[in-house]
Amino acid sequence: MNSSKLRRCLTRALAISVGLFPVVFNAVAQDAPAAQEKGPAPADAMLHALTVEYPTPYRAMSAEEVKTVLDRVYTYLERTTPAELIHKSDGTPIANLTTADPDAVFKPGDFRLTSYEWGVTYLGMLAAGAATGDARYTDYTIKRHQLLADLTKLYNPVVQADLKNSHAPHKSFLNPHALDDAGALCHSFLKAKLGGSKVDYTQMIGICGNFVTKKEYRLPDGTFARGGPDGNGGFKARPLKNTVWLDDMFMGVPTIAYLGAVNGDSKQFDDAAKQVLQFSKRMFNPQLGIYMHGYVEGQADHPEMHWARANGWAVMSMVEVLEVLPKNHKQRDAILKQLRAHIKGLSTYQTRDGFWHQLIDRPDTYQETSATAIYTYAIARAVNRGYVEAQAYGPMANLAWNATASKVLANGQIEGICVGTGMAFDPAFYSYRPTSVKAAHGYGPALLAGAEIIEMNKKFKFGLNDSGLMFQGPR
């Protein structure tokens, strides 16, 4: 019997004899160097190579394995988010809409086709289509974009003529009141347009782009904020006057950058870069390497609640802005520095199972899926673009993807997603937010995460080295 076989047999025998370790192996360590001493093996030989049963798979998934997970999500969403119209009055289908029928509504499904969460889902489907080569993903987005474009041509004149009393299936988009109504959808339109989609996005981009750049409330220095004037001499409570939500770093800023890419407008690049840095100046804690969720302009103290999904929107915003920001832009290096600081900070809080907690720095809060998926996407994208080292962050991204994938059920629904969340200055609010498979916030991030992991693992090789998941070079 050769020495390698002898070591494996000894390891298994030790595991059985002491009764402390599982015999079923789900990861195999690379052999350690052979002992130089000769003679009978001591009792502690090769204990370091005993197999560990990791709750989250401890390896890099193949592209085929990742796609199997993504296919489950796609199948569920294609079935439960129909791109169809019905009559509100009697539920009968509308096969061909030629006039702005006030009785027309979207056929109900599990999720809304015009929510900001679905803007992210459209982005995720585009990314999955590009990474897998499976046109079904791309077609999912384009089919729904085309429906929205057709409806916009029919209904926009009616809605603009009577903003208060008119009806349209997607009125919240045609008459937006917040970045949530326009920003992420607009981002998906712009990215699809740059990717060669044949949909005519002109009218829709005009509506949402105008709202994001010219109508959304801002602080005097130009930073997006909520709690602006209410039109009656007072201020809206969102939740307080002049409140900056970290969420809005994603809900509007990448849209501005992509408008710059589509329009060739350098001022829009400047605005997007300025927003990233101003959000970060107010809300990033450099000692912890993570962002607080809410900031109130003029308020002296801010109890810092480091909500995970909001940090996801921030890190995602940065990788999306960098995707189109010119290489020679004067603020590009500052944004790269900020992105690296955030990713480094996030790395210290990943749990042993690959997730991040609902409040990142509070391990007594639950492990949350949507934030974990967003971090997977953003960190893998940063690795793929060379913003951070594959050696340092590739294994973490793979573990985070495996954690995310573990929450995708056989029917394609995703568990552990925090429902919609406002802003507060106490931990109870965030800690006890419910989770639901019907929370739309996790589906787009899961698609984005899987797509980017496929790209990363095509580009780089990761495997076990002396039991640890390590970078093993470019492919």
CB atoms inside a 10 Å sphere around CB 48: 11
- The DSSP bridge pattern shows strands 85-87 and 93-94 to be antiparallel
Say what the pLDDT of residue 16 is: 36
Ordered DSSP codes for 288-335: TTEE-SEEETT-S------BHHHHHHHHHHHHHHHHHS-TT-TTHHHH
Query: Is residue 408 a contact partner of residue 414, using CB atoms and an 8 Å limit?
Result: yes
State how far the Cα of 302 lies from the Cα of 76, in Å rounded to an integer.
41
State how far the Cα of 171 lies from the Cα of 163, in Å rounded to an integer.
9
Residue 104: φ, ψ to 5°: -80, 135
| Closest of 105, 121, 111 to residue 81, by C-alpha | 111
- Provide the 8-state DSSP code for 284: E
SS3 187: helix
SS3 464: strand
Say what the pLDDT of residue 42 is: 76
- HEC states along 335-403? HHHHHHHHHHHHHCCCCCCCCEECECCCCCCCEEHHHHHHHHHHHHHHHHCCCCCHHHHHHHHHHHHHH
Which helix (H) or strand (E) element contains residue 333? helix 332-347
Q: What is the spatial order of strands in the sheet that 93-94 belongs to?
A: 93-94, 85-87, 104-106
The reply to whether the predicted model has a pTM over 0.85 is yes
* Residue in the structure block whose two tokens are 């607080």: 292
| Per-residue pLDDT in tens (0 to 9) along the chain, 475 residues | 444 444 444 444 433 333 333 333 344 445 566 667 777 777 777 787 788 999 999 999 999 999 999 999 999 999 999 999 999 999 999 999 999 999 999 999 999 999 999 999 999 999 999 999 999 999 999 999 999 999 999 999 999 999 999 999 999 999 999 999 999 999 999 999 999 999 999 999 999 999 999 999 999 999 999 998 888 889 888 899 999 999 999 999 999 999 999 999 999 999 999 999 999 999 999 999 999 999 999 999 999 999 999 999 999 999 999 999 999 999 999 999 999 999 999 999 999 999 999 999 999 999 999 999 999 999 999 999 999 999 999 999 999 999 999 999 999 999 999 999 999 999 999 999 999 999 999 999 999 999 999 999 999 999 999 899 999 999 9
Q: Which residues contact 383 (CB under 8 A, 6 or more apart)?
A: 389, 390, 393, 394, 397, 456, 460
| Closest of 214, 256, 217 to residue 236, by C-alpha | 217
Q: Which residues contact 196 (CB under 8 A, 6 or more apart)?
A: none
Say what the pLDDT of residue 163 is: 96
Q: Provide the token pair at 378.
A: 């953003």
- Helix ranges (DSSP H) in 23-134: 63-80, 116-132
Q: Provide the token pair at 359.
A: 């409040």
Say what the pLDDT of residue 46 is: 76
| Closest of 368, 469, 468, 95 to residue 460, by C-alpha | 469
State how far the Cα of 218 lies from the Cα of 227, in Å rounded to an integer.
10
